[in-house]
Amino acid sequence: MSSSPKLDATMRQAIIETPDVILDDQALMRSLIAANERAMGGNIVDLRGIAMERLEARLDRLEDTHRSVIAAAYENLSGTNLVHRAILRMMDPMEFEIFLRDLGGEVAEILRVDAVTLVLESVQNEGDPAVARLDGVLTVAEPGFIDTYLTGGRGGEPRQVTLRQIQTGSPRIYGQAAGWVRSEACLRLDFGNGRLPGLLVLGAEDPHQFTPQHGTDLLSFFAGVFERSMRHWLS
């Protein structure tokens, strides 16, 4: 008589009826394969077991890649929705001052940034009461300031969208919020022939929210829509 323990009849019948339960259980399959290798002895190379291990490792890598692709797609879709919502909100105001105030309010909240500043270059930048009323959202600077800010004074052609991490924000851009801004998205704006450029700056306390490794397609689209809105108001 065999001394091997008998499998419970109910469990045996359940396994026969639903073998997929065992096949889908990775831990149980590993245990069965290990038991099979022990039964064959140490002098036998189980090529089938080695192949299964390699296939299992490959499957794990494929699952990780699958999850990464899904996460990236979801993040891109979420970002697209945020940008679309922000654009729709910018189209609501009927007055220019309200349009600008919304940048630092609801638009900033929709985009999930901590600070928004619009920089306009002008040869006359002092004494404008509108600028004073919009302190914190609108800043007026001398011609050439925007390109110098974007390139760090190194010259060259500035990009339409610049994403970067910073040690501290510029007080001229962020005012009192400069001390805690750690990353920013700078959108250079073209208002048309005969007009000086503008700059829309999105600042974040999170140093990883805007980095050079991130894509810029959505922000380029947002900058293009904002340019057209500003041309409408400036005309």
Residue 5 in this model has a pLDDT that exceeds 60:
no
Q: What is the pLDDT of residue 4?
A: 53
Give me the sign of the Cα torsion angle 202, 173, 196, 232.
positive
Q: What is the pLDDT of residue 115?
A: 92
Residue 46 in this model has a pLDDT that exceeds 50:
yes
pLDDT digits (tens, 9 = 90+) for 64-103: 777 766 665 656 667 788 889 999 998 888 888 888 888 8
pLDDT digits (tens, 9 = 90+) for 100-133: 888 888 999 999 999 999 999 988 755 555 555 5
Q: What is the pLDDT of residue 1?
A: 43
All structural domains of the chain, each given as residue ranges with its CATH number in brackets, are: 9-61 (no CATH), 82-234 (3.30.450.40)
Query: Rounded to an integer, what distance in angstroms lies between the CA atom of residue 103 and that of residue 187?
Result: 14
Task: Report pTM.
Answer: 0.67
Query: Rounded to an integer, what distance in angstroms lies between the CA atom of residue 123 and that of residue 125?
Result: 6
What is the average pLDDT value for the chain, to the nearest integer? Answer: 81
